[in-house]
Chains A and B, each alone.
Chain A
Amino acid sequence: MTTLVDIRNLTIAFPNRLQDNRVVHGIDLTIHEGETVALVGESGSGKSVTARTLIGLSGAVVGASRFEIAGDDVLGFRERDWRRLRGTKIGFVLQDALVSLDPLRRVSQQLADAFGHPGYFVRRDVREDSRALLRSVGIPDPERRLLQYPHQLSGGLRQRALIATAIARQPSLLIADEPTTALDATVQKQILDLLAERKQAGHTLLLISHDLAVVARLADRVLVMKHGQIVEEGPTKQILSKPAHPYTRQLLDAVPSAASRGFRLSPATDQAALPTEAVERRLPLPPKRIDAAQTVLSASGLMKRYGGGAAVVNNVSFDLAAGEALGIVGESGSGKTTVAKIVLGLVEPDSGTVLVDGQPWSHRSEAERQSRRASMQLIAQDALSSFDPRYTVEKIVGESLDTVGVFGSERRRRVIQVLDGVRLGASFLDRYPRELSGGQRQRVAIGRAFAPRPKLLIADEPVSALDVSVQAQVLDLLAELQAASGTALLFISHDLGVIHHLTDRVLVMKDGRVVETGAVETVFAAPKHSYTRALLDAVPALP
């Protein structure tokens, strides 16, 4: 078994005049031929920059006591040497082919570039090779696809085309940096299958991912990175079932799933509460108070279409009781966000009605709605853009109290109380949104939503932009606050794990229609509709 990559004590830094800004602190990495190795970590762990270093494109200052690729010592490599290595020894795949392929060039031209025969006109033999290559990555009708631009391909085909460019010159090692992150679950599965096929065929793969479940499907060996260091390394099975390092354990626990229902995802803040020798690692969440008799929100027969297109929302109906959490799950373009906007009264449905607290809500004048809006709050996906950048946290949270009529010192008191509730505290009052981390922003957004004590909370993908451990904290916070306040929650997500973890009932949407609905446990355990089955099937799961 030959060693393809052999690195000892790798350090990577982005020095400037003031400091050396080291992002990777002395890691070792060995990849043997035929192996699939995964580098796992959250954002800022240094995994991506490590991957780029392997093809000499990190743009950083790199140091190592040994740095060999396919037997070559690359430490003394100049740009010209690296160029010989790229594409032939190592292929590289990034996430989201929409931006990772040149949007202004046809697929055929990009493949020709990748083959090393660039030019506006593609040679006949290169064309021949391109066709074979596209077929080998599972792209049907390659003749037609060659003439198209990346944006004209579907997400799955596009990602396949990107992989095709990376393997055009049959590199010994393929590096895939979050190759499926931007994709819908069903498409993600296809790409993972493709990579698995390559693995079966004996190709070597270095997988960079934040997603332990993706890694579990493919990798032989896992390296867990945190803050530029490798905290744990070992065979995939061992790492996932018997993690030795607390951080690995924390990462695994943070993944929301069926198993985590009713339990906290993040370690308790006060460590004292945690029995040191606990058999059950997870702590339970407070019980919910669902008042089935009191319907907070009732939507029936919602329809919406824009222009002359197909209906974005097609005959959607549901009820939501006080204290209950209803999940809407679907892939991109399923119409779930439009449902949220209709419920919020930001978009008027073409037909169908929304009742809030039994009173008509849709097709009312805005003036009529204004006074009732405090009972319904929104948590948006991108918290930062939901904050006025000129506002401090105090004003941001306080603004939701305008229509409740809380002003002056009373408002300040309430805002502090809210900030305490989301574990931020009064020291955050004068901060500006841009000074907050992603998790802190989402906490402020959650605090703001709960501040006017709403009966109904609408959360549109509130955690999908967050790292898994931050997501865990935010989900825990949301669950706690919801249980404590008895607020009804309409939770929209593409992530079945999150829905399964958090909600009581679920609506599965596809192309604007509800294909299946029911209690989460029932729907996910015994899906009736084929689409639900396909969705569940596509989700990579931890063993």
Chain B
Amino acid sequence: MSALPTSQAGETLCRRPLLHALPAQPGLVLAVLFIAVVAVATIWPGLIAGADPIAADPLQAQLPPSWQYWFGTDHLGRDVFSRVVHGARYSNLIGVSAVAFAATIGSVLGLLAGLARGLVDEIITRFLDVVSAFPDLLLALVLISFTGPGTTNLIFALGVAFVPRFARVVRAQTFVIARSGYVEQARTFGLSRTVLVMRHVLPHAVAQVPILATIGLGTAIIGAAGLSFLGMGPQPPAPEWGSMLAEGRNYLRVAWWIGVWPGLAITLTVIAISVVGRRWQAAFEGRRSA
């Protein structure tokens, strides 16, 4: 007699704060644990992998995974496990920095457009339209062709490409909230515009930004790896996941492990971040609609 879906079970879960929901959700717990490991690898990779990620040893080249080399060795005889662990720093920091850059600039632009409206809004919106008319990666590529490859340039290029998505959400949010019942109500109390904006508009307009940033971080990490794969990021012999994959691609016929582990690292990291981000988002939206 089952028919139309009912969302009753889901709703009650959403209302619980994130931390309370932890024990009931093994997936979320795993994701958080994995992010913790990745964080350690980012900050203090030596703690997890002792071997030098750059030291080459031609005698030990292309060894399959073993007890000594967990993930095997690459064409130059470098320890792939150590390179994957040390690579976390490059990939994640590029992702985090690019997203932080985009979130900051995007929020400011979005707030400006949403609050000022009129001409300022029109100009900012058009600007965002133009920026997003260039596909993300292609825009980053164009910027890199001006600045040249490298870590900082990659962060900047990716960051610019990500600005519109933040700006748009914040602007839309600002619009909606400025027209909401509680802002209208607060106006009837005789509060000044500044108080109104600071108290009721601003906190809500930017409330989603951290969540959006978390979800965007996954995309940014993939984007950064992609650009590095093309040779636009940190230059060899830096152990960046994307450039490791580019090397691995060339040795796929003889040594699959070089091209598998870095990709797995990217995918798992992004999955873990997405799981946390979406959980957070669901909790946020549940709180709002409940």
- Direct chain A–B contact by Cβ atoms under 8 Å: yes
B68 at the interface (CB under 8 A from A): no
CB-based contact A373/B9 at 8 Å = no
CB distance from B282 to the nearest CB of A (A): 15
CB distance from A265 to the nearest CB of B (A): 26
Q: How far is the CA of A370 from the CA of B189 in the complex (A)?
A: 8
Report if A59-B4 is in contact (Cβ < 8 Å); known contacts: A386-B181, A386-B182, A434-B290: yes
CB distance from A522 to the nearest CB of B (A): 32
Flag B164-203 by CB within 8 Å of A: 1 or 0 each: 0000000000000000111011111111110000011001
A58 at the interface (CB under 8 A from B): yes
Among residues of B, the one whose C-beta sits closest to the C-beta of A452 is: B189
CB-based contact A344/B189 at 8 Å = no
CB-based contact B1/A61 at 8 Å = yes
Q: How far is the CA of A276 from the CA of B203 in the complex (A)?
A: 54
Q: How far is the CA of A368 from the CA of B288 in the complex (A)?
A: 35
CB-based contact B181/A370 at 8 Å = no
CB-based contact A389/B185 at 8 Å = no
B3 at the interface (CB under 8 A from A): yes
CB-based contact A385/B191 at 8 Å = no
Interface SS, B side: helix
CB-based contact A14/B4 at 8 Å = no
CB-based contact A403/B5 at 8 Å = no
CB-based contact A14/B8 at 8 Å = yes
Residues of A within 8 A of B188 (CB): 344-346, 373, 376-378
CB distance from A368 to the nearest CB of B (A): 10
Residues of B within 8 A of A374 (CB): 189-190
CB distance from A448 to the nearest CB of B (A): 8
Report if A57-B3 is in contact (Cβ < 8 Å); known contacts: A14-B8, A346-B187, A389-B287: yes
A380 at the interface (CB under 8 A from B): yes
Q: Of the candidates A57, A371, A389, which one forms a contact with B190 in the assembled complex, judged by CB atoms under 8 Å apart?
A: A371
User: Which residues from 189 to 231 on chain B have a C-beta closer than 8 Å to any C-beta of chain A?
Assistant: 189-193, 199-200, 203-204
A29 at the interface (CB under 8 A from B): no
Of B182, B186, B288, chain A has the most CB atoms within 10 Å of the CB of B182
Q: How far is the CA of A25 from the CA of B103 in the complex (A)?
A: 53
B2 at the interface (CB under 8 A from A): yes
A283 at the interface (CB under 8 A from B): no
19 contacting pairs across A/B (C-beta < 8 A):
A56-B1, A57-B3, A58-B1, A59-B3, A59-B6, A60-B1, A62-B1, A370-B192, A373-B190, A377-B188, A378-B188, A385-B180, A388-B182, A388-B199, A389-B182, A389-B204, A390-B204, A402-B190, A402-B191
Nearest first, the 10 closest Cβ-Cβ pairs linking A and B are: A373-B190, A385-B181, A370-B190, A403-B190, A386-B181, A386-B185, A16-B9, A388-B182, A59-B4, A434-B290
A14-B6, A62-B1 are known contacts; what are 8 more A-B pairs with Cβ within 8 Å? A16-B8, A57-B4, A60-B6, A387-B182, A388-B204, A399-B191, A402-B190, A434-B287
